[in-house]
């Protein structure tokens, strides 16, 4: 399996994010900060920054905004080989507006992501070498929820990658504005037979999958009902829009073991968008890197997510050395230098 061209390919939509600077508001700001985002992009970017080979499967408009998206992807070291270009007059890049919060004002998202180039993606947009080129394939519930077409294409891709021997990673990432819990559950239950690594938060498990019990038993239950190997579940505590704490549990079915560590407390949140995806990135790195393990996955997942909260934009910019420093500081109970010099 080591001989594949990519360690990870992710399938997902690329979105323009427009945000007012500082604590200004969408309705009154004068400029928008411009970022590229998208759950599966965030995952690919993180894994790439940590040193593995990744690529992005997506569909973007053949105009200057598509150029923008491509340039951003390349800058993270992600391959653009599987970007399909939409040259039709309907071509568009989805976008969303994001407003930072400050207690008691919550952060706010306004979506404008319907009828995008991505929603008209076809299997035939991508070359025949696609399925054989990666060790691991990742997507999330967001992609499946975009529309009927994406759901169909996404599910076919999952099956095709599985057939070609790729590990299948899936993050539920439930979004109530894209589909209902019932729709999500029915769709994901069709996918779970193919999934190896499953990301699902406790509350999603309870609300969407109608699971009962504590988080550990819920996690285990997925591995009992489906041939899932690894289940990861995060817990974020929101003290205020500017202060969070974060931790996670990873369950390894093969050894029937739960992995966890001390939470990252009192994170000084600069930009919380993408921190869930950063967790997935860190965890996948922990599993896919040389001598990967669930123990590494929980450490890298937690650290990568905690650190992402301190970085403006959807995407992390932490490389391997950065994140090793974060982990070392987190585990260090003695003297802490105040600064990296």
| Cβ count near 215 (within 10 Å) | 20
Give yes or no for residue 212 binding a copy of itself (CB under 8 A): no
Please give the Cα distance from 92 to 45 (Å, whole number).
22
- By the rule CB under 8 A, 180 interacts with a copy of itself: no
Q: Which of 8, 15, 57, 76 binds a copy of itself (CB under 8 A)?
A: 76
| Pair of tokens at residue 195 | 């999934």
- Is the Cβ of residue 159 or residue 202 nearer to a copy of itself in the bound state? 202
If you count them, how many residues does the chain have?
341
- Give the residue, chosen from 81, 85, 101, 187, that forms a contact with a copy of itself under the rule CB under 8 A: 101
Interface with a copy of itself, residue 22, by CB under 8 A? yes
Binding residues among 226-245 for a copy of itself as defined by CB under 8 A: 236, 238, 240-242
Using rule CB under 8 A, residue 177 touches a copy of itself: yes
> Which of 127, 132, 156, 176 touches a copy of itself by CB under 8 A?
176
Token digits of residue 226: 């489906």
Angle among Cα 169, 170, 175 to the nearest 5 degrees reads 160
Interface size with a copy of itself, residues (CB under 8 A): 84
Name the minimum Å distance from CB 194 to a copy of itself.
29
Taken in order 293, 294, 299, 303, is the CA torsion positive or negative? Answer: positive
Residues 6+ apart with CB under 8 A from 328: none
Q: State the minimum distance, in angstroms, from the CB of residue 24 to a copy of itself.
A: 6
Question: Which span sits near a copy of itself by CB under 8 A: 36-44, 139-147, 150-158, 314-322?
Answer: 314-322
- Closest approach, Cβ 299 to a copy of itself, in A, equals 13
Q: In degrees to the nearest 10, what's the CA dihedral of 151, 91, 79, 285?
A: -40
**Of 217, 233, 234, which is closest to residue 225 (Cα–Cα)?**
217
Stretch that binds a copy of itself, among 123-131, 216-224, 250-258, 325-333 (CB under 8 A): 325-333
Q: Residues near 201 by Cβ (< 8 Å), separated by ≥ 6? A: 172, 233, 234, 235
Task: Rank residues 98 and 194 by Cβ distance to a copy of itself and give the closer one.
Answer: 98
Q: Enumerate residues 6+ apart whose C-beta is below 8 A from 337.
A: none
The beta strand positions in 182-277, using DSSP E, are: 197-199, 230-240, 243-252, 257-259, 264-268
89 contacts a copy of itself (rule: CB under 8 A) = yes
Instruction: Give the binding range for a copy of itself (CB under 8 A) out of 108-116, 132-140, 163-171, 223-231.
Output: 108-116
Q: Which of 4, 5, 26, 211 binds a copy of itself (CB under 8 A)?
A: 26
Q: Does 310 bind a copy of itself (CB under 8 A)?
A: yes
């Amino acid at each position: 399996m080591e001989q594949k061209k990519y360690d990870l390919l992710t399938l997902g939509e690329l979105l323009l994010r427009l945000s007012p600077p500082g604590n200004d508001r969408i309705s009154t700001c004068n400029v928008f900060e411009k970022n590229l985002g998208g759950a599966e992009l965030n995952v690919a970017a993180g894994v790439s920054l940590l040193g593995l080979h990744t690529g992005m499967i997506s569909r973007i408009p053949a105009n200057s905004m598509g150029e923008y998206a491509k340039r951003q992807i390349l800058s993270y070291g992600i391959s653009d080989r599987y970007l399909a270009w939409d040259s039709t007059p309907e071509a568009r890049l989805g976008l969303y507006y994001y407003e930072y919060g400050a207690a008691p004002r919550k952060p706010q998202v306004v979506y404008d992501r319907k009828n995008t180039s991505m929603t008209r993606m076809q299997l035939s947009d991508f070359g025949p070498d696609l399925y054989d080129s990666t060790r691991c394939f990742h997507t999330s519930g967001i992609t499946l929820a975009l529309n009927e077409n994406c759901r169909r294409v996404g599910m076919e891709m999952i099956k095709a990658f599985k057939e070609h021997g790729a590990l299948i990673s899936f993050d539920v990432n439930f979004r109530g504005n894209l589909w209902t819990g019932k729709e999500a559950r029915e769709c994901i239950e069709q996918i779970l037979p193919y999934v190896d690594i499953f990301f699902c938060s406790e509350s999603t498990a309870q609300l969407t999958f109608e699971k009962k019990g504590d988080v550990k038993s819920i996690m285990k239950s997925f591995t009992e009902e489906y041939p899932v190997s690894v289940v990861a579940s995060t817990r974020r505590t929101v003290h205020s829009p500017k202060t969070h704490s974060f931790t996670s549990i990873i369950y390894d079915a093969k050894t029937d073991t739960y992995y966890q560590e001390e939470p990252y407390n009192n994170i000084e949140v600069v930009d919380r968008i993408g921190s869930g995806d950063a967790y997935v990135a860190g965890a996948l790195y922990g599993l896919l890197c040389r001598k990967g393990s669930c123990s590494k996955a929980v450490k890298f997942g937690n650290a990568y997510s905690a650190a992402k909260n301190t970085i403006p934009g959807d995407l992390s910019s932490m490389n391997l050395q950065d994140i090793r420093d974060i982990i070392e500081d987190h585990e260090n109970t003695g003297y802490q230098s105040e600064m990296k010099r």
